[in-house]
Amino acid sequence: MKDLAQVAQRLKQRVRISQENSYLSLEQTSAFAFSRTSTQQIEAALRLKNALIEEFKNIELSEVFSTRLVQTELGTFCQISHEEKIELATFDPAFAQTMIESELKLLYGVGPALEQSLRARGVSKLSDLAHHPRWGQEVQRILDALQARDLKQLENQLARWLPRSHPTAMRLAHMIEPGSLLFFDLESMGLFGHPIILLGVARPHQHGITVHQYLARNITEELPALMHTFGQLNSAQAIVSYNGRAFDINYVKDRLNYYGIAGNFEPVHFDLLTHARKRFRSYLEDARLETVEREILRRERSMDLPSMLVPEFYNTYLEEKNIGPLIPILEHNRQDLISLTLLFSKLCEP
C-alpha cells in the first residue's frame, strides 16, 4: 500500500507543521503567563539539546540517576528518585485550630461589617456562637470537623465563604501530618489532549523530601505511570501544586478519561498559585513559579528548559534514542518540586 503510506506521511508533516506553528504563536502572543520565552532562550535551549545528545551518547538513564522499573498490571514505567535536604516549616496544628476558630466569616451571612459588629459585642471565636439560634448548628459542624480533623469538610467550608487565596485557607495545612502531604507537578506534550510524559511527586520526611519522578519512556508507559500517581494522589491527605487546580489535576483526569477510566477525585488541595499571587502581588511582575522562585525564594537555576520546549526535547529523546534531552526535563520537574516545597513552607509561616 504505497499510496496509503504517502497519505500518512503527508499527514505526519501536517501534524509537525501545526506543532511548529503553535510554538511561534505562543511566542508571539505570550498570552500564556506560563510560557514567556524569548527567541534567544529557544535558540540557547536548542544548542543545549545538541550538546546533551553528544554528552549522553550510549549512556543509560540508570547510570545517571537512581532508577527503578515499576511493574504494574497495566505495564511498566520508570521511577527516578532523589533525596533532597530541605528544611520545612514546623507545623503547628494548634495554631491552625486557633486561626480557623477565630474566623467568623466562615458563617452564613457574615461579612466584614457583621464580623466587626460581632467582635464589638465580644464574640471573638466561633465557639462563642455555639448556642446562637442562627449560627449554632453551623458552628457545631465546623467545630466537629476541627475535632475530627476532617480536612475536606473544612476546605469546603472555607471555600464556600472565603476566596481560595485567603490566608486562613493556607493555615489549614498546619493540621496535616507533613508525611502525608504530596507535592505534585507534571510535564506533558502540550496543553491538554496530549500525553503526559512525566509525573513528579515529592513527600516530606524528617530530613527533607523524597522526590519520585514517574517517567513514561514511551506512550505505552503513560497509563501505568498515571495510575500509579493517581493512587498516590488519592491516598495523600492533601496535595500541593502550582496551578494544579486548573491544570495538573484536570490534565490527569483528562488523560484517564481518554483511556476510558473515570478519574474522578477531589483531594484536599493547596494550589499555591492563588496564594502566591495574592501574597506577593505587590512585589512581583507576574506570578509564574520561576519569578516567585527568583524573587521570593532567592533561588537561581543554572540552566532551565522553557516549558514549551518540553515536547521538542522529549521527541528528540524518542527519535534519537538518547537520554540527553531527557535530562533537562527531569531536572526542570525536580527543581519545580523543590521550589514548590520551599514556597509551601514560606506560605505556611505564621
Partner 1 sequence: MKIESFLERLQQSDGYRNQIETIKIFPEQEPIYENPKKALSPAIQNYLDRKKIRLYRHQARTIELLHEEKNILITTPTASGKTLAFNLPIFEKLSQSKTGTALYLYPLKALCNDQLQSLQQLEAGTLLKFNASVYDGDTPEHQRPKIREKSRIILSNPYALHHYLSWHHKWKRFFENLQFLVLDEAHWYRGVFGSNVALLLRRLKRILHFYKAKPQFILASATMANPLEHSYKLTGEHFSLVAEDGSSRGRKYFVLWNSQKNQERSAHRQASDLFVKSVNADLQTLCFAFSRKLAELTVMWAQGATHKNLAAYRAGYLPEDRRQIEKSLKDGSLNGVAATNALELGIDIGALDSVILSGYPGTMLSTWQRAGRAGRSQQDSLVTLVGFENPLDQYFMRHPDHFFERPHEHAVIDLNNEHILLPQMMCAAAELPLRDTENACWGEKTEALINALEAQRLIQKTPMGWVYRGMARPADVVSLDNISTQTVRLLCEGQVLETLEYNRALEEAHPGAIFLHQGETLLIENLNLGQCVATARRSEVDYYTETLKSTQIRIRSVQGTQKWGAFDLSYGDVLTQHQVIGFRTMRFDKPLGMHPLESPQTEFETVALWFTLPTELREQIKKYGLDWAGGLHAAEHALIAMIPFLALCDRWDIGGLSTAMHIDTGVATIFIYDGFQGGIGIAEKTFELFSELALHTHQLVRDCPCEKGCPSCIYSPKCGNGNEPLDKSAALMILSDLAIATQNK
Where in 206-245 is the site for partner 1 (CB under 8 A)? 218-220, 222-223
Minimum separation from the CB atom of position 18 to partner 1 (A): 4
Minimum separation from the CB atom of position 155 to partner 1 (A): 21
Write the CA distances from 259 to 65, 207, 227, 229, 287, integer angstroms: 30, 38, 11, 15, 33
* Site size for partner 1 (CB under 8 A): 36
CA distance 332 to 335: 5
CB-CB contact of 203 with 325 (8 Å): no
- Residue 59: count other Cβ atoms within 10 Å of its Cβ: 13
Q: Judged by CB under 8 A, does residue 14 bind partner 1?
A: yes
Minimum separation from the CB atom of position 286 to partner 1 (A): 22
CA distance 56 to 283: 41
CA distance 114 to 68: 58
CA distance 206 to 208: 6
> In the set 204, 306, 311, 325, which binds partner 1 (CB under 8 A)?
311
* Contact window for partner 1 (CB under 8 A) among 230-238, 258-266, 274-282, 329-337: 258-266
Q: Please, which residue, 200 or 311, has the CB nearer to partner 1?
A: 311
Minimum separation from the CB atom of position 72 to partner 1 (A): 11
Q: Please, which residue, 222 or 293, has the CB nearer to partner 1?
A: 222
Minimum separation from the CB atom of position 152 to partner 1 (A): 22
Please name which of 283, 273, 281 lies closest in space to residue 336, comparing C-alpha atoms: 273
Q: Please, which residue, 12 or 57, has the CB nearer to partner 1?
A: 12
CA distance 229 to 200: 9
Q: Please, which residue, 322 or 345, has the CB nearer to partner 1?
A: 322
Q: Find cell 513559579 and name the residue.
A: 289
Q: In what order do the strands lie in the sheet with 238-241?
A: 66-72, 75-84, 208-215, 196-205, 181-188, 238-241, 269-271
Q: Please, which residue, 22 or 168, has the CB nearer to partner 1?
A: 22
Q: Judged by CB under 8 A, does residue 31 bind partner 1?
A: no
Q: Please, which residue, 115 or 254, has the CB nearer to partner 1?
A: 254
Q: Judged by CB under 8 A, does residue 19 bind partner 1?
A: yes
> In the set 3, 266, 285, 300, which binds partner 1 (CB under 8 A)?
3
CB-CB contact of 300 with 294 (8 Å): yes
CA distance 322 to 118: 66
Which residues sit at the interface with partner 1, rule CB under 8 A? 1, 3-5, 7-12, 14-16, 18-19, 22, 74-75, 189-190, 193-195, 218-220, 222-223, 253-254, 257-260, 311, 315
